[in-house]
């Protein structure tokens, strides 16, 4: 038997719903409508409009979920591919973590102490979880490609016949032999030792880094040094210091010894028979002097000492030049038999 009271309540509720007084339950899309295929990037978590479950790209069914992550994220976009409000597959998180499907990276491996090694042509992403008292000891050799992370600092490492990229909080010591080594020293004080055939570069934005570079074919650089960096290049190795805010030192016995730009007070010790130069000394006080005892003639140049008070010690047989000397006080101490050139009236040649 129909109860007219209940029927009336039903009508009232229906009308209220039609005029927005209530809210309809959220529609749940079907599982296969989740993501745009290819490199399209859906809004964060929203359902796409043209998923293709047949190809597995953007689909959210049980067998197409991982493929959706690969198709949607292979361009490195890293979005939440194909989750939508109604999708339930795992494809949406595919590009978020290093080494996951579609992310394009190498799986990161945590390591500690002496267990941080890679060899035999592998590509390794090693993350140190050691401590200051028990730091990681990285080893990378035999054509391996290594991405090394030392967030606690003070990690030693050895790279031979390999390629190594080290990110270090500070105080790491990386030895390179016939290898390509790049060190990003976040808190300063890192050291690199590079031998014949190595190509070593250190980024030292907080200063105090040191590079020892030895042997023919070794090529070393420290870039972005705030101050107090040192480079020692011997036995035919090349040194390059693109910039230093102040107080950097180079000692060179190789085919290249260049300090492109120094803020104040940088010094080069130039071995006999070598060419050593400072491009610009912005605030002055830079100098070059000879080292070694070899019977050979050197070329020493400070091209632009706009800050003034730069100096060169010019030994017998050497050729020495100071260019612009904006604030004056530049000098070349010129030994008998040396060729000394001041191209600015604010520079003085002092015969010895």
List the structure tokens of 185: 């020293």
pTM above threshold 0.75: no
Give the tokens for residue 337: 């038999």
- Neighbour count for residue 205 (Cβ, 10 Å): 14
Nearest to 217 by CA among 183, 271, 248, 176: 176
- How many domains does the chain fold into? 1
Say if 153 falls within a structural domain: no
pLDDT per position as a tens digit, 104-127: 345 579 998 888 999 999 999 999
Task: Give a yes or no: residue 11 inside a domain.
Answer: no
In a domain, 340, yes or no: yes
DSSP class of residue 107?
P
Is 3 contained in some domain?
no
Residue 41 placed within a domain: no
Residue 204 lies in a domain: no
The whole-angstrom separation of Cα 120 and Cα 145 is 9
Range of the domain at 284: 263-352
3-state secondary structure of 287: strand
Q: Is residue 256 part of a domain?
A: no
At residue 197, the 3 state secondary structure works out as coil
Q: Is residue 218 part of a domain?
A: no
> For the segment 260-284, what is each residue's pLDDT rounded down to a tens digit?
999 999 999 999 999 999 999 999 9
Q: Which residue has the higher pLDDT, 86 or 158?
A: 158
């Amino acid at each position: 038997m129909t109860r007219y009271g209940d029927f009336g309540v039903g009508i009232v509720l229906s009308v209220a719903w039609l005029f927005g007084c209530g809210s309809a339950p959220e529609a749940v899309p079907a599982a296969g409508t989740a993501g745009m295929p290819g490199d399209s990037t859906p809004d964060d978590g929203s359902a796409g409009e043209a998923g293709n479950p047949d190809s597995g790209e953007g689909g959210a069914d049980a067998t197409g979920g991982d493929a959706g992550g690969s198709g949607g994220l292979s361009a490195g976009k890293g979005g939440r591919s194909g989750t939508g409000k109604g999708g339930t597959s795992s494809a949406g998180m595919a590009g978020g973590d290093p080494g996951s499907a579609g992310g394009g990276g190498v799986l990161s491996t945590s390591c500690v102490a002496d267990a941080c090694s890679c060899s035999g042509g592998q590509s390794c992403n090693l993350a140190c979880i050691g401590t200051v008292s028990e730091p990681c000891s990285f080893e990378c050799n035999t054509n391996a490609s290594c991405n090394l992370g030392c967030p606690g600092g003070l990690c030693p490492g050895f790279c031979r016949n390999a390629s190594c990229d080290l990110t270090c909080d500070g105080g790491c010591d990386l030895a390179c032999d016939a290898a390509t080594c790049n060190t990003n020293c976040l808190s300063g004080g890192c050291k690199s030792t590079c031998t014949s055939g190595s190509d070593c570069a250190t980024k030292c934005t907080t200063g105090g880094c040191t590079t020892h570079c030895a042997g023919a074919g070794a090529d070393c650089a420290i870039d972005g040094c705030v101050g107090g960096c040192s480079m020692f290049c011997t036995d035919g190795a090349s040194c390059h210091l693109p910039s230093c805010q102040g107080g950097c030192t180079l000692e060179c016995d190789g085919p290249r010894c260049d300090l492109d730009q120094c803020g104040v007070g940088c010094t080069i010790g130039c071995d006999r028979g070598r060419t050593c130069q400072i491009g610009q000394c912005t605030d002055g006080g830079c100098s070059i002097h000879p080292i070694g005892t070899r019977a050979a003639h050197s070329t020493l140049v400070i091209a632009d000492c706009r800050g003034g008070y730069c100096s060169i010690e010019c030994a017998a047989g050497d050729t020495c030049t100071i260019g612009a000397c904006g604030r004056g006080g530049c000098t070349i101490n010129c030994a008998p038999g040396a060729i000394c050139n001041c191209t600015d009236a604010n520079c003085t040649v002092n015969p010895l």
